[in-house]
Amino acid sequence: MKRKTIFHLLLLLPMLVSFCFAQSKIQGKISDAKDQQKLSNATVMLLSAKDSILLDFTRSDENGNFSLSTPVQSEAVLIVSYPKYGDYYTEILPNQDYSALKVGLTNTAQLLQEVIVTGRIPITIKGDTTEYDAGSFKVEKNAKVEDLLKVLPGITVDASGKITAQGKTVKKVLVDGEEFFGDDPKLVTRNIRSDMVDKVQVYEKQSEQAERTGVDDGNKEQTINVKLKEGSKNGIFGKAVAGVGTDDYYNGQLMLNKFKGSQKISAYGLFGNNGGTSLSWEDAQKYGSDSGVSYNDDGMYFSSGGDDFSGSGSIGVPKVMNTGVNFFDKWKTDKHKLNLSYKYGKIESDGNETTNKQNNLENDIQFTDKVRNAKSDLTKQRMNLKYDLKFDSLTTLTIQGNASKSKNWTDDRSLSNTINKDGILLNSDSTNNSRNSNAQSFGLNAFLTKKFKKAGRSVSLNMNINRDENDGDGYLFANIQFYKDNVASKDTTDQYKKNDGNNTTKGATITYTEPLTKKLNLSLNYGLNKNDNNSSQFSYNRDQAGNYNVLDDRFSNDYSYDRFSNNYKVALTYKDEKLRANFTNSINDDQLKQSNNRSKEQVQRSFLTYNPNLNISYNITKGKGIYFSYSGRNQLPSLNQIQPILDNTDQLNLVIGNENLKPSFSNSFNVNYNSFKILSGSYTYLGANYSNQNDAFVQNITTDEESGKSIYRWENLTDKTNQSINVYGGFHFKLNKELGIENSPRIAVYGSKNYNMINGALNKVDVLNYSFTYAIFRNMKKGFDFDINLTPGFKTMNSSLQPDVNSNGFTFGSNGGATYFFPKKFKVYVNYDYTYEASTKAFATKFDQLLIHPGVSKKFLKNESLELDFTVNDILNQNKGFARSQNNSVFTQRRYDTIQRYYMLKLSWDFTKMFMN
């Protein structure tokens, strides 16, 4: 009996197994929902609903049938897609029968009248690329690409136009795979209309070297590619804006684009004095002036510095004009590609500034109060060229060229007083510094790549030449009163200054790549570079007749700094489906020649340095990965740091170079973790970076405690190490899917430890900043939308020489806005920005500012292309320029003129005219 039972069970076992497998299978048939035509080769994907991991994948057969055998252990999502049809999306639950699914797809031509019953997901995954169907997301009429990006899951855009995709900052935005007006994202996102877009693709773009050779070098940039509809590639479109306001404020913009197939011609013009065009002044700086100075309507200004011609330090209300034109085309099946651009910019400014400084000495503290008026007028022109020639499928040549010319005038007048901690007056200063300067530059680069039939084998040659020239002259008048032992003494400087400089760089690099295995590649690189740098600065005092003919040797010099370098690199690259690693060993052989052309003295030195780099990325799953990098870098001193000449532009703070500086070496470590869930659009990121610098270039400061006068000399820090660390993390998710409310918490901690010398004593400056940011927003373009960012924080700045007089304090910032969409194409909105910085032991007064900018707008015409906008800037009239900073042992607080309350009426017109192909 027992044997019969076992025998019967054995007979039933295959049937039970078959039944169990049948229950776990997902099977069905795919057809046209209207005419029931069978759809073969349709894409079928099964994704985990929890983390968007791809569980299974197949295609339908010739009869439209499909089958997935992966058991469903938790909630999943089934996605079916087919060319020219809307995507099918349905939920799959465990322990349910999905053995006879009927999937009906609707042709895209019918989607305006029909709705897919089971819903629609407008996102597809193609390898490492996430693709969004632009037509599936609702935005306002005549909205720009930036507005479209704001509603795509996993993509955020902040008020300044900075784009984050899947937790990573977007560095490039392409149009149909090509750069558009260079590679600045905002010119694309704020120029092209969203209704022209077919698809939006997000992926990590490899470096040009990696794309050409096929060998991944680990250098990637988060990139968005905007694919235009076929019907949007032939036509004219653009935008015109005109605004007039109270107190002589004005704003204007014209952007014109003509597309014809692959040919794209674009032109723009921006002008205004309100700092509020649709392109930020940061963009205007980049497109037109390259001045190093940019503005925003919160009164902040940013300076990249670099030379006398950057326009650094401009304050007040800017008058800005920027224009440019760009041409792109490709022909003969993309064998030839040409990109040309011309840009012109002009910035005028006039403003006042008040500065309070605290200089911490070992036995004293000096306080300086300074008022300043600064005027500037900068113009600049720039031309760029890029030409790509594809000889065949294996050989490519790229030629790039650029030329620029600028002219700058500045007039700077200031008054200052310095006292010690006992309130005793040390000095008073009245200075007037006016300058005219000119600069011009050109560059040419040729990059030739030859790939071989064996995948991964290639040779490339890169050659370049660049030259920069500058000259300028001006007048310095300074009248300083010193009060030693309560006895006043005067020091007057009245000089004419003239400077000339040029820098020529020539270089060539050859690279060979060879596959060692299918996953491992070797790269060999040799480069040579020659850099010739010349700088002359002459200062002339007045003679008895009042003419500037007497050369002042203390503040005059003619110096040359030449460098010849040989660079040797060996790199190994490993790549499989999950792991990518690149290890580069770089050795530099630098020969330096420093020549004092007035004294005929020469110094020749040579340095052999090793610069390693390591990049590792590991994809845990499709949307989850970890990244680590290490970089070791030797840095040679600059001409300004070694040139032995006193700069007396600031009579109370003289700077001199040091011919004996040796290279510094820095170690940088970086680790990042990113997790992105495509279906929910949520992501998490964690990161940390640490760096230290040995033999760092620091300033040895000698300050006279009786006069308040300081001399800054560059030296190497030999017995201490400068360090910094930054740790951050955050996540983004939807709070309420039905209401469209999303939020993003973020936390960050930054710390640094830096050293310098003051009157022979070692000074350590410790900085530690904590911040937490919480962002909550709704961007549905209907009803009530809002965007609120809250950032409390605590900042510490301490000097070891005066630990009890620090600049530690609480900070709080908040910005955002709200919009309500009424019927009849009418909306009301308000933007705000709040800043608070508590008083500290270094600065007794707090800073507290609330900026509110309300407005109302109405759209006209059938296509809503005409918009009338009335806005109030800073309705509470509280806007004040403000900044706190620390450098060496000096704590600085600045207040300066900026744009305050005004009323403006603005009319904008979005125009478009498309033609048939």
pLDDT tens, 869-886? 999 999 999 988 888 887
- 729 in a structural domain: yes
Q: What mean pLDDT is predicted for residues 625-636?
A: 92
pLDDT of residue 524: 96
**CB within 8 A of 517, min separation 6: which ones?**
none
Rounded-to-integer distance, Cα 491 and Cα 480, Å:
5
- 598 in a structural domain: yes
- 325 in a structural domain: yes
- 5 in a structural domain: no
Here the tokens at position 511 are: 């690279």
pLDDT at residue 849 above 80?
yes
Band the pLDDT of 15: cuts 50, 70, 90: very low
Q: What is the CATH number of the domain that holds 87?
A: 2.60.40.10
Between 463 and 915, residue with greater pLDDT: 463
CA angle 415, 419, 423 (to 5 degrees): 135
Rounded-to-integer distance, Cα 461 and Cα 183, Å:
24
**CB within 8 A of 276, min separation 6: which ones?**
251, 297, 873
Cβ 79 vs Cβ 121: under 8 Å: yes
Q: What mean pLDDT is predicted for residues 216-222?
A: 74
Rounded-to-integer distance, Cα 442 and Cα 854, Å:
46
Lowest-confidence segment of 163-177, 506-520, 630-644 by average pLDDT:
163-177
Residues 476 and 361 occupy one common structural domain: yes
CA 679 to chain centre: 27
**Which of 105, 121, 138 represents a domain boundary (last residue)?**
105
Q: What mean pLDDT is predicted for residues 482-498?
A: 90
Cβ 689 vs Cβ 725: under 8 Å: yes
**Which of 179, 213, 232 represents a domain boundary (last residue)?**
232
**CB within 8 A of 805, min separation 6: which ones?**
358, 360, 365, 799, 841, 842
pLDDT of residue 674: 85
Rounded-to-integer distance, Cα 594 and Cα 207, Å:
36
> Which amino acid is it at 851?
L
Residues 66 and 204 occupy one common structural domain: no
pLDDT of residue 69: 79
Residues 210 and 355 occupy one common structural domain: no
Band the pLDDT of 807: cuts 50, 70, 90: confident
Residues 193 and 287 occupy one common structural domain: no
Here the tokens at position 244 are: 């007039």
Mean pLDDT of the chain: 84
pLDDT at residue 314 above 50?
yes
Q: What is the CATH number of the domain that holds 350?
A: 2.40.170
pLDDT of residue 483: 92
Percent of the chain with pLDDT over 70: 89
pLDDT tens, position by position, 780-806: 777 898 989 999 999 998 888 888 878
Residues 137 and 100 occupy one common structural domain: no
pLDDT of residue 497: 96
Residues 133 and 183 occupy one common structural domain: yes
Q: Quick one: which of 157, 215, 140 has its CA closest to 573?
A: 215
pLDDT of residue 313: 42
**Helix, strand, or coil here: 216?**
coil
Residues 750 and 828 occupy one common structural domain: yes
Residues 99 and 191 occupy one common structural domain: no
Band the pLDDT of 492: cuts 50, 70, 90: very high
Q: Quick one: which of 53, 47, 343, 363 has its CA closest to 182?
A: 343
Q: Count other Cβ atoms within 10 Å, centred on residue 468.
A: 18
pLDDT at residue 22 above 50?
no
- 319 in a structural domain: yes
Q: What mean pLDDT is predicted for residues 666-679?
A: 87
Residues 210 and 284 occupy one common structural domain: no
Name the most confidently modeled range: 133-142, 273-282, 408-417, 701-710: 408-417
Rounded-to-integer distance, Cα 338 and Cα 835, Å:
46
Q: Quick one: which of 446, 448, 582 has its CA closest to 523?
A: 582
Strands 319-331 and 336-360: antiparallel
- The predicted model scores a pTM of 0.77
The number of CA neighbours under 13 Å toward the Cβ of 265 is 5
Name the most confidently modeled range: 19-28, 110-119, 531-540: 531-540
Lowest-confidence segment of 106-120, 285-299, 357-371, 380-394 by average pLDDT:
285-299
Lowest-confidence segment of 147-156, 353-362, 593-602 by average pLDDT:
147-156
pLDDT of residue 679: 64
Band the pLDDT of 633: cuts 50, 70, 90: very high
**CB within 8 A of 675, min separation 6: which ones?**
51, 167, 623, 624, 625, 683, 684, 685
Band the pLDDT of 104: cuts 50, 70, 90: confident
Q: Quick one: which of 205, 198, 333 has its CA closest to 262?
A: 333
pLDDT of residue 487: 82
Rounded-to-integer distance, Cα 492 and Cα 541, Å:
11
pLDDT at residue 205 above 50?
yes
Q: What is the CATH number of the domain that holds 150?
A: 2.170.130.10
Domain containing 207: what range?
A: 129-232
Rounded-to-integer distance, Cα 801 and Cα 798, Å:
9
Rounded-to-integer distance, Cα 584 and Cα 576, Å:
18
Rounded-to-integer distance, Cα 711 and Cα 645, Å:
12
Band the pLDDT of 779: cuts 50, 70, 90: confident
Percent of the chain with pLDDT over 90: 47
pLDDT of residue 91: 80
Task: Output the CA–CA distances (angstroms, integers) from residue 193 to 141, 227, 641, 816, 851, in the order listed.
Answer: 9, 12, 48, 24, 30
pLDDT at residue 724 above 80?
yes
Q: Count other Cβ atoms within 10 Å, centred on residue 917.
A: 9
**Helix, strand, or coil here: 879?**
coil
Band the pLDDT of 230: cuts 50, 70, 90: confident
pLDDT of residue 688: 95
pLDDT of residue 880: 85
Cβ 817 vs Cβ 786: under 8 Å: yes
Residues 73 and 159 occupy one common structural domain: no
**Helix, strand, or coil here: 517?**
coil
Band the pLDDT of 316: cuts 50, 70, 90: confident
pLDDT of residue 370: 95
- 619 in a structural domain: yes
Rounded-to-integer distance, Cα 555 and Cα 647, Å:
6
Residues 314 and 193 occupy one common structural domain: no
Q: What mean pLDDT is predicted for residues 812-840?
A: 92
Number of structural domains (the chain) is 3
- 111 in a structural domain: no
Cβ 894 vs Cβ 883: under 8 Å: yes
Band the pLDDT of 841: cuts 50, 70, 90: confident
Q: What mean pLDDT is predicted for residues 255-262?
A: 90
pLDDT at residue 274 above 90?
no
Residues 286 and 405 occupy one common structural domain: yes
- 251 in a structural domain: no
**Which of 89, 105, 121 represents a domain boundary (last residue)?**
105
